Amino acid sequence: MSAAGRSRFAGLLWVLPWLIGLCVFFLAPMGLGAYYSMTDYTMLEPPLWVGLDNYASLASDPVFHRAVLNTIVYAAFVIPLSVVLALAIAGLLDVDSRLSRLVRVLVFTPTVVPLVASAMIWLWLFNGDHGLINAVLHMLGLSGPNWLGERGFAMAALVVMALWSIGQPVVIYLAALQDVPRELYEAGQLDGMGPVRRFVHVAMPSIAPAVFFNVIIQTITAWQVFAAPYIMTEGGPDRSTYFYSHYLYDNAFLFQRMGYASAMAWVQLMLIAACILAIYAVTRKLWSTGT
């Protein structure tokens, strides 16, 4: 074997464990999921081939439509609000001071709290009878709503809970802001720009890749939201917080319709991919026009 051949063989040996893991834990499950999505499979009996019937059933399933709509509404609030709020916090923390370092720790702390624990905390905070939020409102002479028992308030409560844990995007934005040359800010100041205009016209173009990355991650997270609403509202009231992943979970493990759930998983993948492509197209157009 030549030296080049030995080098290629050695390289293959180094990546072989990763390739095996990719096939066993990623490609094989995806292939099985695609197969099961075209079967009637209850996990207790052999799968029965039904072709595209599961996908056709999704098109006429009102609960599926409701779950998709709820997820879109949730994402439409969480993604823009989290981007704006995280950028604002990162911009305010882009200074070197003891107070700034302390606030960074406080902002990032909710991110390291387990999601189930966070959901339980917010479940009691939003409790209509004994929750801290309604207790504070009562002290102010206001009557607090049943946050998790009324349609509009339940969705709002989940959005607030999602915004509480934006420490990770704040850290990413802050790291990107600290890479922006200070000379650019000074040039903007000499041109008469105020702090807000300097942030929009100087900082934002420089940190656009970080914004794009976080929007993609938050889009994927929003489409896959499950644990918090499952614990806090169980999909209620009146299925107003019944999200896509919750319905997928119920079909797979509650209704024992694994084939139908597999079809939902593939549709979810396609919906997420479509959103990412749309975001990429819009971002690319904005970059090309220089806005």
Angle, in degrees to the nearest 10, between helices 132-139 and 115-125:
30
- Rounded to an integer, what distance in angstroms lies between the CA atom of residue 172 and that of residue 166? 10
Residue by residue, pLDDT tens for the chain (291 residues) are 677 777 788 888 889 999 999 999 999 999 999 999 999 998 889 999 999 999 999 999 999 999 999 999 999 999 999 999 999 999 888 887 788 888 888 888 888 899 999 999 999 999 988 899 999 999 999 988 999 999 889 999 999 999 998 999 999 999 999 888 888 888 888 888 888 888 888 888 889 999 999 999 999 999 999 999 999 999 999 999 999 999 999 999 999 999 999 999 999 999 999 999 999 999 888 777 655
Domains and CATH numbers, the chain: 53-289 (1.10.3720.10)
pLDDT at position 195 is 82
Distances (CA, A) of 87 to 163, 179, 201: 13, 15, 14
Residues 64-104 have pLDDT tens digits of 999 999 999 999 999 999 999 999 999 888 887 788 888 88
- Indicate the residue type of 117: A
